[in-house]
Structure 1
Amino acid sequence: MKKLELGNSGLQVSEIALGCMRMDQLSTQEANRVIEQSMEAGIDMFDHADIYGAGKSEEIFADAIDMNPSIREKMVIQSKCGIRDGFFDFSKEHIIRSVEGSLQRLKTDYLDILLLHRPDALMEPEEVAEAFNELKQSGKVRHFGVSNHNPMQIELLKKSVEQDLIANQLQLSLMFTPMIDAGLNVNMEHDPSIVRDGGVIDYSRLHDMTIQPWSPFQHGFFEGVFVDNDQFPVLNEKLQEYADKKGVSKSAIAIAWILRHPANMQPIIGSMNPERISQIAKASDVTLSREEWYDLYRVAGNKLP
């Protein structure tokens, strides 16, 4: 598994990370197999959030590996906070309380990365900065970032936050490409030309923020997986063609498509199937040509201007 640097943090991580949202549905033994298989495949970064399984996903993760310092130093753990029941909360009190809860459930003294999960319309950057400073100085969080934020929201945070924001988790897949579409359809009078995210992909490259695509196999907003989906026969035929050509699975090709982008992205895969994780991890060894990348983009239903 190839490595990449998260932002400009100096933190070297696997270029594919495992999202642990569904880990609450596994037994301790099943979770252990998922984690061990991930690490055998070269995945050393694990993405959590305080709301995943109402905290149970973090608990099962820690129990599954019998968390201890020797195991902890082999992995990079990221968690997120800010989503509550019916509202978003970036208050200093909630951020700190959320981190302390995650640390307790994960049975660790620190998070490698903390992300703010979804934008809080009532965010006060000075209050976020106070929380980040306290967490950094106490050693409870080493690096910080955001999730689902646009460039101006990030700039507003940076007005007060002293630490670098090294990552932004955003929805992206071969079948969900608005942040790519807008850059290809500049000044055109049709829907793909609409800039919905403030130019976040170019902003991220300019400011050394790593984009972490979530739901990399979904079409639409949680409408289903497109791989092996009868709704998309032409796309799956093309995925199979490249899978056969490269000697990997169709899912690996879908991830290789994301990895080919020069923004140096880190896809978050959410599979809890050890065999599928191993298959997907092989995407790190696949390089798509420019022609192959655009071929898949067009077959996914996108038109070039």
Structure 2
Amino acid sequence: MRTIKLGTTDLDVPVVAVGCMRLDTIDRADAQAFVQTALDQGATFFDHADIYGGGKCEEIFADVIEMSSSVREKIILQSKCGIRKDSFDFSKEHILSSVDGILKRLKTDYLDILLLHRPDALVEPEEVAAAFDQLEQEGKVRHFGVSNQTPRQIELLKKFVKQPVVANQLQLSITNASMITRGWNVNMENAEAVDRDGGILDYCRLHDITIQPWSPFQFGFFEGVFLDNPKFPELNAKIDEIAAKYNVSNTTIAMGWLLRHPAKMQPVTGTMNVQRLKDCVKASEINLTREEWYGVATAAGYVLP
């Protein structure tokens, strides 16, 4: 699979990351087949979080991949922490204990990347900095990033954290693309001109932070997928038209729409279906034309001024 540099690191990562949030929803045999398919497709970047399945997803992953030092060398592991029941927690104590739990469940000595999950309103960035320093010094985490954060939230962390922020995981799909479409609605009086994210897309590009779109096929907030959904007839017609041209699935084109953006994003899959995973990976071989990309955008309902 095609690769990109992750943030400012020298780490070459596949352009499609494999999300493991639902690994606990399938049986062991299917989980093993899913992980092996990812490896066979060159999808060696696996995204986890300590809350996925209450930790079970990380345990299942380590089990089915038969984690060992030789296996560990061939994959890239990312996990997230900071979400607790009914609260968020970026305290030093919680970050350190979370990472220890993650490493134990994944049966590894280190994470390639640790992301801070949903922003903690009570964050004390000095504590985050202390936690990151200790994790780096102990060799438990090699790179650090965030998830669902605005430019100002990242800047606040950077005032104290010395490690580069290499990734920001954000909700982004064709139907949830305001961070992109706001760019052509500057100084307009329509709803698409409203700044909901502080200009995070341009901020990440300016600071070499890799955007990792999550839920790349969802509309709303986990309301369902837009592909083959009668709520989006024009969008699906356009995607199907382009898919027929390239002789690929609609999944491939929807993923390819994100990969066509020059920000060099790394979408995170959410499927546990082997064929859909293959279709996602196939998108790394597709390069939509400018006309096709804008055609999908307008079919999704975004109006060009």
**TM-score per shorter chain, which class?**
over 0.9
Query: What's the counterpart of residue 293 of structure 1?
Result: 293
Per-residue deviation, residues 127-161 of structure 1 (Å, max 9, x unmatched): 00000000000000000000000000000000000
Over the matched positions of the two proteins, sequence identity in percent amounts to 60
Per-residue deviation, residues 178-228 of structure 1 (Å, max 9, x unmatched): 101211100111110011101000000000000000000001111100011
- Give, in whole Å, the separation in 2 of the partners of 1:260 and 1:273: 24
Query: What's the counterpart of residue 131 of structure 2?
Result: 131
Aligned AA for 2:151?
P
Deviation at 1:230, TM superposition (A): 1.6
Q: Aligned to 2:145, what secondary structure does the other structure show?
A: strand
Aligned AA for 1:269?
T
Q: Aligned to 1:42, what secondary structure does the other structure show?
A: coil
- Give, in whole Å, the separation in 2 of the partners of 1:298 and 1:261: 15
Aligned AA for 1:82?
G
- Give, in whole Å, the separation in 1 of the partners of 2:181 and 2:277: 29
RMSD over aligned CA atoms reads: 0.7
Where does 1:106-117 land on structure 2 (aligned, <5 Å)? 106-117=106-117
Q: Aligned to 1:269, what secondary structure does the other structure show?
A: coil
Pair 1:283-2:283 in alignment: yes
Pair 1:65-2:47 in alignment: no
Q: Aligned to 1:205, what secondary structure does the other structure show?
A: helix
Query: What's the counterpart of residue 18 of structure 1?
Result: 18
- Give, in whole Å, the separation in 2 of the partners of 1:209 and 1:255: 20
Q: Aligned to 2:142, what secondary structure does the other structure show?
A: strand
Q: TM-score, normalised by structure 1?
A: 0.99
Aligned AA for 2:217?
F
Q: Aligned to 1:287, what secondary structure does the other structure show?
A: coil
Where does 1:108-187 land on structure 2 (aligned, <5 Å)? 108-187=108-187
**CA contact 1:243–1:253 (8 Å) conserved in 2:** yes
Query: What's the counterpart of residue 84 of structure 2?
Result: 84
Deviation at 1:301, TM superposition (A): 0.8
- Give, in whole Å, the separation in 1 of the partners of 2:27 and 2:139: 31
Where does 1:180-219 land on structure 2 (aligned, <5 Å)? 180-219=180-219
- Give, in whole Å, the separation in 1 of the partners of 2:151 and 2:279: 34
**CA contact 1:249–1:280 (8 Å) conserved in 2:** no
Query: What's the counterpart of residue 105 of structure 1?
Result: 105
Q: TM-score, normalised by structure 2?
A: 0.99
Q: Aligned to 1:94, what secondary structure does the other structure show?
A: helix
- Give, in whole Å, the separation in 2 of the partners of 1:78 and 1:246: 32
Deviation at 1:27, TM superposition (A): 2.0
- Give, in whole Å, the separation in 2 of the partners of 1:294 and 1:182: 14
Q: Aligned to 2:59, what secondary structure does the other structure show?
A: helix
Pair 1:257-2:257 in alignment: yes
Deviation at 1:231, TM superposition (A): 1.4
Query: What's the counterpart of residue 240 of structure 2?
Result: 240
- Give, in whole Å, the separation in 2 of the partners of 1:44 and 1:66: 14
Give ranges in structure 2 of 5+ residues lacking alignment: none
Per-residue deviation, residues 102-124 of structure 1 (Å, max 9, x unmatched): 00000000000000001101101
**CA contact 1:174–1:217 (8 Å) conserved in 2:** yes
Q: Aligned to 1:166, what secondary structure does the other structure show?
A: strand
Deviation at 1:28, TM superposition (A): 2.1
Q: Aligned to 1:282, what secondary structure does the other structure show?
A: helix
Runs of 4+ in 1 over 6 A off after TM superposition: none
Give ranges in structure 1 of 5+ residues lacking alignment: none
Query: What's the counterpart of residue 8 of structure 1?
Result: 8
- Give, in whole Å, the separation in 2 of the partners of 1:229 and 1:69: 44
Q: Aligned to 2:22, what secondary structure does the other structure show?
A: helix
Pair 1:40-2:40 in alignment: yes
Aligned AA for 1:224?
G
